[in-house]
Structure 1
Amino acid sequence: MSESKRAEIDRLINESYEIESLLAQWQEREFATQVELRAGQEKYQSWYARAIPLVSESVRAEFKDMYEGGMVIKRIKSFLSRPLEINQFYDPASTESIFPKWSHLYSTTFQDSFHNQRALLQAEIYAVAEPSTVLAEIASAFSRFPNFLQALQNSTKPNVPAPKIEKEEDLQVLVEACLRLMYEDVRPEDFVPQRAGGRSRVDFLIPAVGVVVETKMTRESLGDKRVGEELAVDWNRYSGHPDCRGILALVYDPGRYLVNPAGLESDLTQTQGHPATRVLVIR
């Protein structure tokens, strides 16, 4: 893949989140001016026109279908044409109506289809970067994290205090800084789609390679078993993120509370899974 094509895909991916946020407001507010509607429609249409040539021919029909839809299944085109049309079967006086207020509900006609389009576009980058390979590369860089901390702590420069990692939030600040040395687009606390009435957030998402990076800092009450259990629960949620193809857990264990760090790494690292997973214990 050429650098120019990859850069354009990255721009479109970033722009897609802006479009999604903009169009979601229409039904949330239950109002939008004609100027706002037209601007949103034009913004998506421009995105769509630029994205189609970048999608592989083998999935281009699917990409177009996410826009066109059909007589039965309504998709993006239907939402954009009448986003504030009231469902004729909706009963505002009933608290138990099975019909939504909107004829073309944002979450089902636009959001789901748009997520699929973004995933297809993202796959053009993923095709040349296996998630297990990316996880190994990031893990290799963070295996030198103790050396990085040691260098900061050994600094003899006056008025340059060394960072202290006393809680997980401190760790996340340094992890994000290191990730930004490797990737331009690093998104902290990116939301996972809602499940069972609740929303969760990944620590960091790197959209360009489809990798989620999670941090854990051990303590006396967070040893081998508990860390493994928490990671399993987190990963089950993270797998629902449309951009997640791999998960890297960075487990910081300065107090050496883990009895068998090698076993934890081995048991929870799955290079062939979907998403692929990897654990790195840092001491």
Structure 2
Amino acid sequence: MPRDGELTGGCGCGRVRWRAKGPVLHRVHCHCVLCRKGSGAILVPWLTVERAEFAWTGERPAFYRSSAKGERSFCPVCGTKLTFTHDDSPDHIDLALGSLDDVEAGYPLDQIHGESRVAWLAVDPNLPFRSGHAPTRPTANPQPLTRDERLEGGCLCGAFRYAVTGPPLESGLCHCSMCRRATGGLAMGWAIWPRDRYRDNDGPTAAWAASAYGDRLFCPTCGASVICSSTAQPELIEVLLGGLDDPHALAPEAHGFAADAPSWLAMDDRRPRWPGPPNEGLPDDTLLRGRG
């Protein structure tokens, strides 16, 4: 994309669209808890542009005040995370990478809030952290969960809460375009449990059927993506790892749809890299290595 070119993006259902012109001022991976909980992704890359060069071109999104000075937007129908604004920077607006039509234009140049980085995540290892934002813990995978170990999580505003018990049946990081668009983030960490090992508070959720295979559920207040249900396997529940209160406790087993990831993305781990669905075909170790 040319430096002064146009960016376009929007939500998964197509109702909410945006357009931005002019130079991109910042490109950053954000590891903060608010971005992770608010999206359901493992982290959220943002592109910053001048607010005067930004416009909504479709229906208006929903907005959630996620802190005293910050506001996030999302589609109220499909839950796609879209933008972030901060009262201290009224002339700027941040665009969620996953909402871009061309994610190749979204490559980050640095990272922030390393103190909140998920312990098992090693993304773009050569990409610097800003001064004062360095990680405070080394990259490491946790021990497997015991059968009676309990993990809790929920949405950003706290209206929807859940708990799962014991190790999941399977887990992974999904790089498909639907997961990226829905969360607005880089990749969606997920894990599947039997429903008899899952409980929630029956809090409010909105559902979006992104495909014939099931629904993606998100909080209608804060927009956070939280769980997915399967039409073919209703006895199972899929939990988004970004919503866990302790996301360090469960590391995904493999990368799925790694061929759909942006070409600039580098993941420094030994997890199998499946081009499409996990365990279909053969893994490809050349994927998720960045631009070389």
TM range (shorter): under 0.3
Q: TM-score, normalised by structure 1?
A: 0.25
The structure that is strand-richer by fraction is: 2
Q: TM-score, normalised by structure 2?
A: 0.24
The structure that is helix-richer by fraction is: 1
Higher relative contact order (CA 8 A, sep 6+): 2
